[in-house]
Amino acid sequence: MKDIADIPALMAQIGTQAKAASAELAFAPPDIKRAALEAAADAVWARRTEIVEANKKDLDFGRNKSLSDAMMDRLMLDEDRIQSIVTGLRTVAAQDDPVGEVLTEWDMPSGLNIRRVRTPLGVVGVIYESRPNVTADAGALCLKSGNAVILRGGSESFHSSSAIHACLVDGLKSVGLPEAAIQLVPTRDRAAVQELLTMIDTVDVIVPRGGKGLVGLVQREARVPVFAHLEGIVHVYVDAAADPQKAMDVVMNAKTRRTGICGAAECLLIHESLVESLGTALVQMLLDAGVRVHADETLAKIAGTTAATAEDWGKEYLDMDIAAKVVPDVDAAIAHIRQYGSNHTDCILTEDDGTAARFFERLDSAILMRNASTQFADGGEFGMGAEIGIATGKMHARGPVGAAQLTSFKYLVEGNGVTRT
């Protein structure tokens, strides 16, 4: 990869091309977009060996940068993960097209008929770290929702993202859609990010997908609107009325299935009545699995735990670590989550409907779960096929951001020669 001397000029050109492409995508027929995504899926599978070889270069780059095991796991692609990318592309392709959907319709006494219909946002900028699969997810969802997208992948995933992006372009070309509909910034230079954040004339929204440092930078410096969350500080509360087997299964999966994703559990809250029974069993299970348990004073009595410090509450480990604390009741769990959570995903394990209802109504996380692993907190598991990220803000998009959340709306107003008195 050669350094590009004039980053501002490069980004300005990419933005202009994206804006022009978005105008065409806004009215592209659903069957054409579907065919482009199917062709892209075919290309990804046909070129899987090439993608894996490109990924090896990125893994070497990551090792040289001493990336954590969790980050390396996010970065790695094998045939199974490429199959998941293909499945995600096909799932998005098969979904109903959101563009033009009538959200509501009504008639006014004046004789006006008014419809509120979905319309694309325009140009979406996606800035992400490590995960090369985001290239496919973001490209597919933006295309489905009629948006052009500018992808700026992390330096770690440069080669993998480029290989996947080439497949998406193949899909666009196969149906005659503009290649500029899905563009990948062709440089690792961080100056490109700074430019993208200020391209108010050509970019309509920025979606950051990465750690606290990246998302914080975007939120501080962007002049373009942002869909974002800072961290996935995910809590699991084990209530007095929890089913022991469900609790063991869910806690283990929520923490250890993949520690490097934003839906991984980071804090375990245990009802005080369970300390000597299920609570101890849960902590021991995690210890036996190789998890470092940062325990409060009560749980620190269990051999093998590490005494928690103030910094452990509200910490996103993204690794084989979890904070653990005893609470007297569901209200104390709610208070802890309100103080230390990030409004991303939180879970209650209980068989008591009233307690679950209280947990659901008094917390305002984007995703609240009961008796289910927090590892399900992504768009693919919500039936969205893929996601462009998890938004924890309260304006416009929230939770898994799929194709429908990448639209706004407009009003179509019709009359029959109506005039206003």
pLDDT digits (tens, 9 = 90+) for 276-296: 999 999 999 999 999 999 999
Residue type for 88, please? Answer: G
Token pair 């929890």: residue: 242
Cα Rg of the chain, angstroms: 23
pLDDT of residue 1: 43
- Three state DSSP letters for 104-152: EEEECCCCCEEEEEEEECCEEEEEECCCCHHHHHHHHHHHHCCCEEEEE
**Is it the case that residue 83 has pLDDT exceeding 50?**
yes
- Residue 50 is encoded by which pair of tokens? 């090439």
Stronger pLDDT, 392 or 8, i.e. the higher one? 8
Give the whole-angstrom CA distance, residue 64 versus residue 154. 15
pLDDT in tens, 84-122: 999 999 999 999 999 999 999 999 999 999 999 999 999
Question: What pTM did the predictor assign?
Answer: 0.81
pLDDT of residue 230: 63
Give the whole-angstrom CA distance, residue 285 versus residue 265. 15
pLDDT band at 229 (very low <50, low <70, confident <90, very high): low
Stronger pLDDT, 356 or 391, i.e. the higher one? 356
Give the whole-angstrom CA distance, residue 153 versus residue 143. 18
SS3 call for 183: strand
**Contact present, 48 and 82 (Cβ < 8 Å):** yes
Nearest to 374 by CA among 234, 245, 272, 273: 234
Task: Name the CA dihedral angle for 318, 321, 322, 324, rounded to a multiple of 10 degrees.
Answer: -160
Please state, as a whole number, how many other Cβ atoms lie within 10 Å of the Cβ of residue 30: 16
**Is it the case that residue 414 has pLDDT exceeding 80?**
yes
Give the whole-angstrom CA distance, residue 306 versus residue 417. 76
pLDDT in tens, 145-169: 999 999 999 899 999 999 999 999 9
**Is it the case that residue 402 has pLDDT exceeding 50?**
yes
Q: Mean pLDDT, to the nearest integer, of 367-375?
A: 96
pLDDT of residue 104: 97
| Residues contacting 361, CB < 8 A, separation 6+ | none
**Contact present, 230 and 342 (Cβ < 8 Å):** yes
Task: Name the CA dihedral angle for 397, 401, 404, 406, rounded to a multiple of 10 degrees.
Answer: 70
Give the whole-angstrom CA distance, residue 100 versus residue 117. 5
| Residues contacting 103, CB < 8 A, separation 6+ | 116, 117, 118, 409
Residue type for 79, please? Answer: E
Give the whole-angstrom CA distance, residue 314 versus residue 319. 14
pLDDT in tens, 165-214: 999 999 999 999 999 999 999 999 999 999 999 999 999 999 998 777 88
Q: Mean pLDDT, to the nearest integer, of 246-266?
A: 95
Give the count of alpha carbons within 13 A of 160, CB side only. Answer: 30
Give the whole-angstrom CA distance, residue 27 versus residue 181. 13
Q: Mean pLDDT, to the nearest integer, of 21-26?
A: 96
Nearest to 205 by CA among 415, 418, 396: 396
Q: What are the backbone angles phi and psi of residue 256, rounded to the nearest 5°?
A: -105, -15
CA dist list (Å): 352 to 241, 250, 276, 360: 6, 17, 21, 12
